[in-house]
Amino acid sequence: MATAEKIVHVSEFTNEPFIDFTKPENRTRMEEALKKVKAEFGREYPMWLNGKKVTTTEKRTSTNPSHPMEIIGVFQNATAEMARQAIEDANRYFDTWKKVSPQERAKFLFRASQIVRERKYELNALVCYEVGKTWVEADADIAETIDFLEFYGREMLRLGEPQKLVPMRGERNYLMYIPLGVGVIIPPWNFPCAIMAGLVAASLVTGNTVVLKPASDSPTIAAKFIDILFEAGIPKEAVDFITGPGGAVGDTLVTHPKTRYIGFTGSKEVGLRISELAGKTVPGQMWIKRTVLEMGGKDGIVVDEEADIDAAVEGTVQAAFGYQGQKCSACSRAIVSEKIYDTFVQKLVERTKKITVGPSDDPNNYMGPVVSQSAMKTILDYIEVGKKEGKLLTGGKRAAGDGYFIEPTIIADVAPKARLAQEEVFGPVLAVIKAKNFDQALEIANNTEFGLTGAVYSKNPEKIKKAEETFHVGNLYLNRKCTGAMVGAHPFGGFNMSGTDSKAGGKDYLLLFMQGKSIAEKVS
């Protein structure tokens, strides 16, 4: 059992404050960081396998979606054999890493948090360039990264102690949480630092070793974060960093018999494939693989006739078009009571037309590019579908510039079961759906295969109570937008095809990366 000397005393968790970019000194620092990061464009980044830098003859690149000709970083193209070896090496080092005390592992996270905090502007700038986040969105991403490190570090101090059980006469009994083994981490590009760092930090602090395969569109920020972990003192053998194609590398990592669990955030299609592959037992496998899956959403904001319409319009616009609608929590359906429908739609269009679109490193733009050419094509194809299913009110086409810019798009009078009301678009496209009344609005809100986030705007307490009971989502927001979950305050994860409801940033999250060992000793 742990001794009292090992206990680390830390302050109570608080969320990292956001940068106020209206202050001239902060704007200047951000502009300087953008210049500094741009000077590093084209740099090559190695993989880290078994504590050593590894390069390959075949390369892959990460580009700037605001200016696709600009290469952010050059990366290695791993083979399936390298992926197999990475799991073997991580499994071997697991026996060493799991013996490091939970308190010591937590200290590593706190050190990493401090380094991220010190380099916040530089990391913000990299996120701006690599995935097209605006200053404010990039800052939220890095602040959430800090929050995950701080929150999970504190949680491990709590869970790393022997857990009290119901006493048994004549016995000494307690429960301890122990790590699982090798975790394969496959994060998304849309929160390229926060979600990636959260999955890696949760894995490491609980005593597991990690093989990280970053998203193809955002490997540079992941490479920088790995360097920060090493600088914080985490042994290089505890984290393997591998870049390469999803088919050859990803599938090999998931299906390897020594892989103990997979932490994934991304599309429903890829998440289901990982679930299926992980569910098949292969020769040499001694456990049922765990999956921690965050998948898609088709999130709705219900606007009741008794709502503050202006507040509902502002919240809907922010949730639909913040980061170009590329959040699994983004509002892609506004479900509006027919009594206020016309007024709401008119105000919504007026507000949306004020949105500026352009390169994300320019703070005057509210919306930057979508992440890639393929994403842009998919979104524009969905807009064409939407034009047939409803009435295009604003937007609907590519915006000016050499980047992957799309106008914020609103399509009204969409039927509840139309494709645009059911399928995840993952772009700046909002379907507006008319409901006869509040009850029907809730039925429509629940009529997709997803169940991630949702919001309700109403001043009626009875309707709010009904929404709390019947709106079937993992994260429900009342009289506020459905994006912007904060670590600790809004544990995040959804129902149905939105994933395994893992509640990232919550008190239960680290338990997904550990197993409980109950110990009882007879005493005289």
**CA–CA dist 515, 396 (Å, integer):** 50
Q: What digits encode the pLDDT tens for the residues 92-121?
A: 999 999 999 999 999 999 999 999 999 999
Q: Which of these is catalytic: 150, 237, 305, 328?
A: 328
Q: Which two tokens stand for residue 399?
A: 């915006």
User: pLDDT per residue over 301-315, tens digit each?
Assistant: 999 999 999 999 999
> Nearest Cα to 82, choosing from 327, 336, 252?
252
Residue 246's pLDDT is what? 87
Q: Which residue has the tokens 């995935």?
A: 131
Q: Check if the beta carbon of residue 271 is closer than 8 Å to that of residue 499.
A: yes
Structure tokens at 346: 């008119």
| Residues comprising the chain, all counted | 524
* Closest to 194 (Cα-Cα) out of 39, 328, 284: 328
Helices 120-131 and 24-38: crossing angle, nearest 10°? Answer: 60
Sign of CA dihedral 435, 436, 438, 443: negative
Strands 299-303, 453-457: pairing kind: parallel
Q: Annotated catalytic, 128? A: no
Let me know if 427 is exposed, middle or buried by CB neighbors in 10 A (0-12, 13-18, 19+).
Answer: buried
Name the 3-class secondary structure at 447: coil
Is 32 among the catalytic positions? no
pLDDT grade, residue 9 (50/70/90)?
confident
* Residue linked to tokens 């970019």: 21
Mean pLDDT of 5-23: 87
Q: Do 38 and 129 touch, CB atoms closer than 8 A?
A: yes
The set of residues, in sequence order, having a beta carbon less than 8 Å from that of 342 and lying 6+ positions away, is: none
**Tokens at 496, concatenated:** 């149905």
Which amino acid belongs to residue 276?
E
Tokens, residue 315: 């919240």
Q: Pairing between strand 67-76 and 59-64?
A: antiparallel
Query: Under 8 Å CB-to-CB from 346, ≥6 apart: which residues?
Result: none
- Residue 406's DSSP bridge partners are 398
Residue 215, pLDDT > 70, answer yes
The whole-number pLDDT of residue 524 equals 79
Per-residue model confidence as pLDDT tens digits over 22-49 = 999 999 999 999 999 999 999 999 999 9
pLDDT of residue 501: 95
Q: Which residues pair with 75 in a beta bridge?
A: 60
- What pLDDT is attached to residue 1? 36
Buried b (16+ CB within 10 A) or exposed e, 79-110: bbebbbbbbebbbebbeebbebebbebbbbbb
Query: For residue 304, is it left (φ>0), alpha (ψ between -120 and 50) or beta?
Result: beta
pLDDT for position 6: 52
Instruction: Supply the pLDDT for residue 273.
Output: 97
Geometric angle at alpha carbon 495, from 302 and 199, rounded to 5°: 115
Spatial distance between the Cα atoms of 179 and 206, rounded to a whole number of angstroms:
6
The domains of the chain, with CATH numbers, are 24-295+502-522 (3.40.605.10), 299-486 (3.40.309.10)
- From 130, 294, 407, 424, active-site residue: 294
pLDDT of residue 469: 98
Give the mean model confidence (pLDDT) for residues 216-225: 98
Residue 125's nearest CA partner among 110, 150, 111, 142 is 142
Residue 375: strand, helix, or coil: helix
Let me know: does 366 contact 356? Beta carbons within 8 Å: yes
pLDDT value at 5 more than 60: no
Q: What is the mean pLDDT of residues 419-442?
A: 98
Following CA atoms 339, 340, 343, 349 in sequence, which dihedral angle do they give, to the nearest 10 degrees? -120
CA distances from 113 to 117, 146, 152 (A): 6, 5, 11
Please report which confidence band the pLDDT of residue 7 belongs to, taking 50, 70 and 90 as the band edges.
low
Percent of the chain predicted with pLDDT > 70? 98
Crossing angle of helices 194-205 and 219-231, in 10° steps, is: 40
Confidence check: pLDDT of 3 > 70:
no
* pLDDT(2) > 70: no
**Number of C-alpha atoms within 13 angstroms, CB side, residue 130?**
34
Please tell me the predicted confidence (pLDDT) of residue 247.
85
Q: What is the pLDDT of residue 234?
A: 98
pLDDT at 4 > cutoff 90: no
Give the Cβ contact number of residue 333 at 10 Å.
26
List, in order, residues 6 or more apart from 443 with CB less than 8 Å away.
none
Q: How confident is the model over 265-285, as pLDDT tens digits?
A: 999 999 999 999 999 999 999
pLDDT tens digits, residue range 352-400?
Answer: 999 999 999 999 999 999 999 999 999 999 999 999 999 999 999 999 9
Contact (Cβ atoms closer than 8 angstroms) between residue 206 and residue 260? no
Tokens describing residue 348: 């919504």
Residue type, 500: T
- Render the burial of 287-315: b for 16+ CB within 10 Å, e for the rest: eebbbbbbbbbbbbbbbbbebebeebbeb
pLDDT tens per residue, range 124-137: 999 999 999 999 99
Q: For residue 7, what is the DSSP state? A: P
Question: Would you state the structure tokens that stand for residue 516, as one six-digit string?
Answer: 């409980």
Task: Write down the pLDDT at residue 452.
Answer: 98
- pLDDT of the residue at 151: 98
**pLDDT averaged over the chain?**
97
Termini Cα distance of the chain: 19
Sign of torsion, CA 248 251 257 260? positive
For residue 162 the two structure tokens come to: 């022997």
pLDDT at 8: 64
